[in-house]
Each structure stands twice: as C-alpha cells, then as structure tokens.
C-alpha cells in the first residue's frame, strides 16, 4: 500500500471523518465512529511509547469521567480483538475511569502506516521521551527501508532533527536510562556523545546530575575530559622518562659532565653535552678520540 504523503501534516489526513451511509462507507473503505467494548481492545506492540505517567493518566481519567472520550480511538480489527493504532493513552485512562465502551474508528492500515501514525500522534502530543522517539525513527529506517529525509518529511521535522535524535542511541544504556528518567536533558546527552569510553560517559552523566550542571557547563567539562591523556599513555610517558634519565646518567658518568637527551615524538632526538671551559672541551675531544679508537 502506498504511504500517504500527508502524514507529516497530522493525523487528520489518515483518519476519516464521520460517514453517513453504508454505501459511502463501503465505496470509500472507511468506517464510521462506533462504540467498542473496552475489553476487546489491546495495545499495539509497535507503539513507540513505552512509558506512561500514572499521574497524567489519572488526570485524563478524571476528565473522561466528566466529559467522556472526546476524540475516538483509531483501531484495526484482528482475529478476536481490536488493536490500537492511535489512542492508547485514552484507552488506558478510560479503563481507569471505569468505562465499558469507548468511541472508535475502525480502519485498515499497512504495518508501516501503523508505526507512522503512532509515532506522529505521540510527537504531536509530545508524549515520547527522547529515546522512544529515536527508536521509532530507527525502526522506520531499518524495517521499512526509509531514508532519513523520508522520515523527516512524514513527521514534519528537519533531517538534522532526525539525525540528532538517532545519535542518542549511541549513548551508554545507563545514560539513556538517565535521559528517560529526566535526570539529564537531551542537550546534556548530546554533549556526552564525544566521550567514547562508556564508563567515563556514565560517570560524567552522574556528575552532571549530582552537580546540576547546565548544558554549557557540560560542554566545557566534556572538552576538558577529551583533552586528558589516557592512563596507559601517562604510564608509558613515565616509563620513557625513567629510561631516558637512566641513559643520561650513564653517559654523564662516562663524560664527566652534564648530559641531556632531547626526545622527539617520532623517536628521534638529540644529545646535549655541556662544557664550561676550553680545557673541558679539549678533554671531551680527547675522550671521543679514545672511544673511537
């Protein structure tokens, strides 16, 4: 089934309005709004949203008790039940409110349309946490072979927004959980991405949370961390220095004067031998001649 280009403009382009006659319903392959037993409805496993705020659900349930379900659920008929395409939050709140039936529109969609509709609904309501949103974009790209530009068009976002969102999935899983739990923001999380060491990345995220650092302060902190030399490199430098000091001592004992070894990065360098008088220079020349014989 071809995907409707109007998806990015909102759910209205995917959800039909009320239908007056059965003839029109059949010809247009749409369904009128109807009441469905709430126990016959099940959530959609493809729903990008996994976390539901209990307090917010209770508030919606209180509103439903007073005003009813204002916007119908969008469902698809399965073997012995209906699957939610859009409106899981309303369904959950309706159950809390004790409703036996809920208004719904029954329609058939392709698997790709189901994912897109659920994603768009949640994005429009700002219901997804950053990781859920990123996972939904990733699924559209990987499972349905869409490009980032295609996804951006369907959800009315810029390509850069899609790219930056999906980059969050590269974070250490513990850092992702902190982002889901609102312990850090997306700005903090993006600032942490250059830190490739997962343990260091997580420890830095904890520092951000504990010290309540701003995004700007986090960016400065990350820059300073990236400038730090790894412990292995520091240990190697110390070992090299000890070796060259030992060589300096050995040459100094032979020459009888101060000797310095200047090492370059490419394993080249120079040896500097100090002398303090013409007589000492002549002594060193005699020593070199003796060593050369």
SS3 per residue for 241-282? HHHHHHHHHHHHHHHCCCEEEEECCCCCEEEEECCCCHHHHH
Note whether 154 and 18 are same-domain residues: yes
Note whether 184 and 279 are same-domain residues: no
CATH of the domain at 144: 3.90.1530.30
Residue 53 phi, psi (nearest 5):
-70, 120
Note whether 219 and 266 are same-domain residues: no
Residue 120 pLDDT level (bands cut at 50, 70, 90): confident
Residue 275 lies in a domain: yes
Residue-level pLDDT at 121 = 72
Residue 238 lies in a domain: no
Q: What is the mean pLDDT of the chain?
A: 80
Residue 191 lies in a domain: yes
Residue 165 lies in a domain: no
Residue 234 lies in a domain: no
Residue 240 lies in a domain: no
Residue 66 lies in a domain: yes
Note whether 76 and 206 are same-domain residues: no
141, 160, 179 - which closes a domain: 160
Residue 239 lies in a domain: no
Note whether 95 and 216 are same-domain residues: no
Residue 140 buriedness (CB in 10 A; 0-12 / 13-18 / 19+): buried
**Dihedral of the alpha carbons of 79, 82, 83, 85, in degrees to the nearest 10:** 130
Note whether 194 and 251 are same-domain residues: no
Note whether 118 and 146 are same-domain residues: yes
Residue 283 pLDDT level (bands cut at 50, 70, 90): confident
Q: For residues 191 and 272, which has the higher predicted lDDT (pLDDT)?
A: 191
160, 184, 218 - which closes a domain: 160
Q: Hey, which of 2-11, 167-176, 226-235 has the most confident mean pLDDT?
A: 167-176
Among 88, 113, 116, 133, the active-site one is: 88
Dig out the tokens for 159 from the structure: 């390509």
User: 192 forms bridges with which residues in the sheet?
Assistant: none
| DSSP conformation class of 3 | P
Cα separation, 74 vs 223, in Å, equals 48
Note whether 114 and 28 are same-domain residues: yes
The answer to whether 191 and 185 have CB atoms below 8 angstroms apart is: no
Active site residue 293: no
Domain count, the chain: 3
Q: For residues 290 and 206, which has the higher predicted lDDT (pLDDT)?
A: 206
pLDDT in tens, 30-59: 567 899 999 999 988 766 666 777 888 898
Percent of the chain whose predicted confidence (pLDDT) is above 70: 81
160, 182, 203 - which closes a domain: 160
Angle between helices 148-155 and 159-167 (to 10 degrees): 110
Cα separation, 173 vs 42, in Å, equals 29
Note whether 141 and 32 are same-domain residues: yes
Note whether 266 and 213 are same-domain residues: no
Taking the complete model, does pTM exceed 0.85, yes or no? no
Note whether 205 and 133 are same-domain residues: no
Query: What is the residue range of 282's domain?
Result: 246-292
3-state secondary structure of 150: helix
3-state secondary structure of 171: coil
pLDDT in tens, 170-207: 999 999 999 998 999 999 999 999 999 999 999 999 99
Note whether 50 and 149 are same-domain residues: yes
């Amino acid at each position: 089934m071809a995907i409707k280009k109007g998806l990015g403009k909102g759910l209205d382009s995917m959800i039909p309005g009320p239908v007056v006659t059965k003839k029109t319903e059949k010809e247009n392959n749409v369904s009128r709004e109807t009441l469905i037993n709430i126990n016959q409805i099940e959530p959609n496993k493809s729903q990008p949203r996994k976390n539901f705020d209990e307090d917010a659900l209770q508030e919606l349930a209180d509103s439903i008790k007073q005003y009813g379900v204002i916007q119908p659920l969008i469902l698809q008929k399965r073997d012995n039940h209906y699957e939610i395409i859009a409106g899981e939050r309303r369904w959950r709140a309706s159950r809390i409110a004790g409703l036996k039936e809920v208004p719904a529109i029954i329609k058939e969609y392709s698997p790709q349309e189901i994912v897109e509709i659920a994603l768009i609904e949640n994005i429009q309501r700002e219901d997804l946490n950053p990781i859920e949103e990123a996972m939904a974009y990733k699924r559209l790209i990987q499972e349905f072979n869409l490009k980032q530009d295609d996804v951006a068009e369907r959800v009315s976002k810029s390509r850069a927004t899609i790219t930056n969102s999906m980059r969050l999935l590269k974070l250490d899983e513990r850092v992702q959980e902190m982002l889901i739990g609102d312990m850090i923001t997306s700005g903090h999380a993006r600032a942490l991405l250059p830190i490739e060491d997962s343990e260091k990345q997580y420890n830095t995220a904890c520092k951000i949370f504990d010290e309540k650092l701003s995004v700007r302060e986090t960016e400065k902190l990350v820059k300073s961390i990236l400038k730090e030399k790894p412990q292995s490199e520091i240990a190697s430098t110390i070992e090299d220095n000890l070796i060259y000091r030992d060589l300096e001592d050995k040459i100094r004992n032979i020459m009888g004067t101060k000797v310095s070894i200047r090492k370059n990065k490419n394993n080249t360098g120079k040896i500097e031998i100090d002398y303090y008088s013409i007589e000492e220079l002549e002594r060193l020349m005699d020593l070199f001649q003796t060593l050369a014989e």
